[in-house]
Structure 1
Amino acid sequence: MRLRSPRQNLTCMRKKVMLCVWWNFKGILHYELLPSNQTIISAVYSAQLERLAQALREKEPALINRKGVILHHDNAQPHTARITAEKLRQLEWEVLPQPAYSPDIAPSDYHLFRSLQNFLLGKKFNNEECLKNALTEFFASKSQEFYNRGIKMLPEHCAQVEENNGNYIVG
């Protein structure tokens, strides 16, 4: 089961909060909002992976037991740190190989977040609960086919990045 691990900055009450979301071909598995003063370091990311594992045990037990987890995340330092590598070994998750950072092959950047940005355009949130409600509404509004298409486009985008020697893909 492939999972995506992206982040997006959102504004709530004039403060930026970070959205961390994990999804697969069926939809959203887990998301968290981090306060503006919190940075993603390996300890934070490892704790998030543990919460994701719990969400997976609850939402997708058959997929975990049958196929295992293949995680797709970029090469950001918290993702490659020793603490994170140990957590991934403990969870027995495979990590999809990732070339040097390229947003062109992150389905969340070219698929999920582009759609989320359009949904949030012009919206203001008075508190975190209002933001969470909007996110829940957005995630629920997307069909399984939407999420499935984002995952299925990954091989094509990887091939395009390789063909362009890692240069940015327009369109």
Structure 2
Amino acid sequence: MVTVWWSSAGVIHHSFLPIGVSITADVYCEELNTMMEKLAHLLPALVNRSSPLLLHNNNAQQTFSKLQELELEVLRHPPYSPDLAPIDYYFFQNLDNFLAGNKFNTREAVQNAFRKYVASRTAHFFKKGINKLPLSWQRFIDCMGDYFD
């Protein structure tokens, strides 16, 4: 499993979880710490604003506490709504297309293919993905919360 944190400027942080490890509140909070350290280095203007914005759908109390500690403003979306989760509707959908037809025999091969995918994306790709979000939200509102493709 890979976790990915990205902005309109590109991938901020990704990590491959060890085999058998799930995303728990502890793991998520550690990922948040790492992502914020990298974000401060890569895009300090985002970290230095009054409160950086984060779109996420993890509702664990420990995660909520960590978000407050990091002074992140959370932009919530309805529970599991792939229409409104850019990582699902945009990033991983394009990754699926990039990997189509390939077979991987090792974990390292999968990781290398993922890194190749990220390296092949232009700044325009990430900006376009983030800019599609308000349009998706509007469609969600117009559909009164019903699912759409």
Within a 5 Å distance, the mapping from 1:9-158 to structure 2 comes to 18-66=1-49, 68-74=51-57, 79-158=58-137
Q: How far off is 1:69 after superposition?
A: 1.6
Which of the pair is proportionally richer in strand? 1
Q: Which runs of 4+ in 1 moved over 6 A?
A: none
Unaligned 5+ segments in structure 2 are none
State the one-letter code of the partner of 2:43.
E
Partners in 2 of 1:67 and 1:82 — Cα distance? 23
**CA-atom RMSD, angstroms?**
1.5
1:46-97: CA deviation from partner (whole Å, max 9, x where unpaired):
11111111111221123311354211012xxxx2111111111111111002
Q: Do the aligned partners of 1:70 and 1:93 also contact (CA within 8 Å) in 2?
A: yes
**What SS does structure 2 have at the residue aligned with 1:105?**
coil
Shift, 1:131, TM fit: 2.0
**Aligned counterparts of 1:30 and 1:59: Cα–Cα separation in 2:** 10
SS of match in other structure, 1:30:
strand
User: TM-score, length-normalised on structure 2?
Assistant: 0.92
CA distance in 1, matches of 2:83, 2:25: 24
- C-alpha distance after superposition, 1:18-57 (max 9, x if no partner): 1110100011000111134111111111111111111112
How far apart are the structure 2 equivalents of 1:127 and 1:55? Answer: 28
Matched position secondary structure for 2:101: coil
Query: Is the deviation greater in 34-43 or in 23-32?
Result: 34-43
- Matched residue type, 1:107: P
Count of paired positions: 149
Q: Measure, in 2, the Cα distance between the counterparts of 1:80 and 1:22.
A: 17
